Amino acid sequence: MNSVDSIGEILELFVSKKSVDRMLLDTKGVLNDKFYAKDIDRSVLLSSIDSYRLAQSRDIELKYGELGENILIDYNPYRLKSGTQIQIGEALLEISQHCTLCKSLTKIDSKLPKLLKDDRGIFAKVIKAGEIKRKDRVYLIKN
């Protein structure tokens, strides 16, 4: 029997770095996103507000969305293991892998890729399609 725990809330949503109030997901990823249907295991990028706070603590100013995330949450998901499932709105996501070091972040600040090496984001694939809205709760599915 599965149980669920509320672990956080959606702060912001982005489709190809454009802020949106809601997004639609299917098993190929975020509809209308530039990475839609490119790599199923990397179809949704979740980032934590903690990443922005970490950058700010080193005097690096970032606007939400600059880390390339689709979903910004007020919970740090980076320690979740691959295979962990989370429910957001109507969609069910499964953590697939940690975000790799992204050299494009050097355009913002040369220290940023190293600083956020393990704290930029986590990828998920869509198990059940649905709509996600800003302020939706994030639930951890426990088996």
**What pLDDT does residue 1 have?**
60
Taking the C-alpha atoms of residue 131 and residue 137, their distance in angstroms, rounded to an integer, is 13
Per-residue pLDDT reduced to its tens digit, 64-115: 999 999 999 999 999 999 999 999 999 999 999 988 777 788 888 889 988 9
Superfamily of domain 3-142 in CATH is PK beta-barrel domain-like (2.40.33.20)
CA distances 85 to 35, 65, 89, 112, 122, Å, are 21, 23, 13, 29, 12
Considering only CA atoms, which of 137, 100, 131 is closest in space to residue 116?
100
Select the more confidently predicted residue: 143 or 86: 86
Considering only CA atoms, which of 52, 44, 45 is closest in space to residue 25?
44
pTM: predicted TM-score of the whole model, two decimal places: 0.94
Considering only CA atoms, which of 72, 73, 67, 97 is closest in space to residue 7?
73
Per-residue pLDDT reduced to its tens digit, 1-29: 678 899 999 999 999 999 999 999 999 99
Q: In one letter, which amino acid is 32?
A: N
Per-residue pLDDT averaged across 52-74, rounded?
95
**What pLDDT does residue 119 have?**
87
Select the more confidently predicted residue: 61 or 101: 61
Per-residue pLDDT averaged across 34-50, rounded?
95
Per-domain residue ranges of the chain: 3-142
